[in-house]
Copies of this chain bind each other. A is one copy, B any other.
Amino acid sequence: MLDFTFYNPTKILFGKGRIAAIAQEIPTDRRILITYGGGSIKRNGVYDQVVAALAGRTTFEFAGIEPNPTYETLMEAVRVAREKNVDFLLAVGGGSVIDGTKFIAAATPFEGEPWDILAKRARIQRALPLGAVLTLPATGSEMNSGAVVTRRASQDKLAFMHPLVYPRFSVLDPSTTFTLPPRQIGNGVVDAYTHIMEQYLTYPVNSPIQDRFAEGLLSTLIEEGPKALATPDDYDVRANIMWCTTLALNGLIGAGVPGDWATHMIGHEITALHGLDHAQTLAIVLPSVMAAKRDNKRAKLLQYAARVWDLTDGTEDGRIDAAIAKTRDFFERMGVKTYLRDYGVSADAIPALLAQLKRHKLTRLGEHQDIDPAVSRVILERCLAP
């Protein structure tokens, strides 16, 4: 096992009807900015539950945080937060709303140009406290300290992490997900699956606990994901998926093991240039990374094949190929296409994607930092079509 530091102070309030509990989690004298996205929370009753829980409190609202939240939009929220002297943020939505709200939390008291938090890793010394009401199980943002923000003007999609932006609490009520469109459920499952793989599918470091936890989460997504599409109002299925997606990226399964994250880095550039959903890019890139890095990842690929897909017969490469095919097939069964061609992106897009990676200094990716632009090209070429 590698050395690690693990710290995660977010309080999880899990279960049906738990939104009411936010009243006890936010001090009564706080000036609260409620942040959300496109308004689905007004149609599914979540907004009403939040408003009821905060009756009598001083609240303001900022709507319109988009998928892949943009710096431009978030800076509008920062202006509102400053103008209204807000001292608590409540994010109501999915990973994009929560990510965006983390940036608002750090940017509001920041002295200087807040873009530097992302572009120059400027030091954060203060942040507004935030809480979250999760409505879309996917990114894990509700229980971690990271956020990804896109600058519309320059197509940069950049991340920051800071302990001050852990949500103080997050409400996970699985029944709030019943009305999600299938596309968002499929995306969420693929996103969480890939988060797990980024932390699992590297090289062995004698970490049986982390390995088994990761395999347990993967197996649960494989079992429950298709059920979530087939029977959208099955509470237990949604509960299992929701807790899985949170545990996939809360620091636990990554503590003490190497991380890859090449799939995410390459995927971010595809979203930035071609507007694909985040999870769509992961479903495209992950199988290519598995295939292209099969020698480095051989031991864990064989373990993954055996323990997650029960593939134990045949040659090593045969088992690895079968495991990659099973992974791709699972993503497709979740409704997420796994080739660039499916989204109308062709080979002539590759040079610009490679240029973006270079511009973001992402030229040494992966757990061995050996995915240079030439390897990224091979990976992207494998992404094009079967």
Residue positions of A touching B, CB distance < 8 A: 1-16, 18, 206-209, 212-213, 215-217, 219-220, 223-224, 236, 239-240, 243-244, 247, 252, 255-256
Contacts and interface: CB of A to CB of B under 8 A. Distances in A.
A12 B212 CA distance: 20
A5 B1 contact: no
Contact of A209 (B7, B9, B216, B255): B216
Contact of A243 (B13, B15, B209, B217): B209
A247 B13 CA distance: 20
A206 B256 CA distance: 29
A7 B2 CA distance: 25
A281 to B, nearest CB: 26
Nearest to A6: B12
Q: What number of copies of this chain does the assembly contain?
A: 2
B3 A14 contact: yes
A7 B8 CA distance: 9
A3 B239 CA distance: 10
Contact of A240 (B206, B215, B236): B206
Given A216-B213, A224-B208, A240-B208, A14 B8 contact: no
Contacts of A207: 240
A11 to B, nearest CB: 4
Contacts of A256: 14, 239, 243
A22 B126 CA distance: 23
Contacts of A2: 15
The 10 A-B residue pairs whose C-beta atoms are closest, nearest first, are A3-B15, A212-B216, A9-B9, A7-B11, A6-B12, A206-B236, A1-B239, A208-B220, A4-B14, A209-B220
Contacts of A15: 2-4
B243 A223 contact: no
14 contacts: A1-B14, A1-B236, A3-B15, A4-B12, A4-B15, A6-B14, A7-B10, A8-B8, A208-B219, A209-B244, A212-B213, A212-B217, A212-B219, A213-B216
Contacts of A8: 8-9
Nearest to A10: B7
Given A208-B240, A209-B217, A213-B216, A14 B5 contact: yes
Contact of A3 (B11, B18, B215): B18
